[in-house]
Amino acid sequence: MTKRVTVYDISKRLGLSPSTVSRVLNNSSLISTEKKELILRTAEEMGYQKRAIKRQKGRAIINIRLFLPKTQFSYIHLFYDVAELIEGIQHGFGETRVNIITSLNDGDLSLFDSKKLGDIDGCIFAFTKPSDALEELLEDRSVPFILLNRSNPEHNYVLVDNLVGMDALVAAMYKKRGGSLKPCYVGFSKLPSVSEQREMGVYKGCMARNIPFDREKDVIMVDSLTELREKVLPAIEKHSYNGVFCFNDLMAVSLYQTALRRNWRVPDLFSLTGFDNSPMLQLLDQRIDTIEFSLLKLGKEAGMWLNGRIINRLDNAIQKALEGDYIVGETI
């Protein structure tokens, strides 16, 4: 009996990842034409036959697994309301009955072996990404998945437009301080992909307005909030920065409080911005200028896309950036 040719056989011959091969064989539009043609041609030459996947269009309830970051990133839960995200997902599915099962993205693949919860019809990765092993498992089983506030050119995702959001903050600070503005960006090394996008937003915003900004000298990266006192405040003092763009609201709040302990007044000494419009901003006596991050909108977009894939059998890809709203505060 001839051995069935698998995705892994094709990927081994071409030196590509199994997930990339699987996406092409499942009609993904996110792979380049050249690579797509190579994979399809090789699959035909090797005699690959796609395994039939049973789809239950009339199922009463759709099962969606929502993956959240591991506990080592527990600070995320300080300003992201998971209940709001779930509400958005449910709105996106409309009249379709959906069962949302939450899990930590800790690499445990046995979750998909459990029969107690039924088959998983789709997955959402919020503020996290699947491991290579999990990605290959999902692709092999033709389970659609989408990333929220994370991006990958070969994946489906919805995120907040960090470039546009940061540009709005740069514009507001420039309007206040004009040509005297000397800005810096405080980034977070633990989330490099998001931090780099927001840094780029500051850089492009400054370049568009002829504001001097050196991505080598004017970017201060921290590993933890404790480094704000050790690295950021000395840098502000040494270089006379009068505009500080923080990676997010948590960092902005912490920097505000740290500066206050030195009797540094904001915005007298320097203007300050955050990002995400976290509920924690209400704890300060001054409202920090920020960009609103709507979990409701992100969840709704994810729900609509998965509903189209699972219920209506649509093959459309989604790579979407949502524009956040500038929330005017008192710190610019």
Per-residue pLDDT of the chain (332 residues; tens, 9 = 90+): 456 788 888 888 888 888 788 778 777 766 788 888 888 888 888 888 876 544 455 556 889 999 998 755 455 555 567 888 999 999 999 999 999 999 888 877 776 665 544 578 999 999 889 998 898 888 878 889 999 988 888 899 999 899 999 999 999 999 999 999 999 999 999 888 889 999 999 999 999 999 999 999 999 999 988 899 999 999 999 999 999 999 999 999 999 999 999 999 999 999 999 999 887 888 888 999 999 988 899 999 999 999 999 988 888 899 999 999 999 999 99
CATH number, domain 162-291, options 3.40.50.2300, 2.60.120.260, 3.40.449.10, 3.10.20.520: 3.40.50.2300
> Rounded CA gap, 329 and 272, in Å?
10
Q: What is the 3-state secondary structure (H, E, C) of 32-53?
A: CHHHHHHHHHHHHHHCCCCCCC
Q: What is the dotted CATH code of the domain comprising 62-159+295-322? A: 3.40.50.2300
CA distances from 265 to 4, 226, 258 (A): 70, 20, 11
CA–CA–CA angle 306, 26, 45 (5° rounding)? 180
Helix axes 295-310, 82-93, angle to 10 degrees: 40
Report the amino acid identity of residue 282: Q
> What stretch(es) of the chain map to CATH 1.10.260?
7-46
CATH architecture of the region 7-46: Orthogonal Bundle (1.10)
- DSSP type of residue 71: G
Report the amino acid identity of residue 113: D
Whole-number pLDDT of residue 75: 53
Residue 111 phi/psi, 5-degree rounding, is -55, -30
Q: Which residue has the tokens 């492009």?
A: 204
What pTM did the predictor assign? Answer: 0.75
* Among 83, 19, 98, CA closest to 310: 98
> Rounded CA gap, 328 and 196, in Å?
24
Whole-number pLDDT of residue 152: 84
Whole-number pLDDT of residue 116: 46
Task: Please confirm whether the linkage preceding 192 is cis (ω < 30° from 0).
Answer: no
> What stretch(es) of the chain map to CATH 3.40.50.2300?
62-159+295-322, 162-291
Taking the alpha carbons at both ends of the chain, their separation in whole angstroms is: 73
Whole-number pLDDT of residue 113: 65
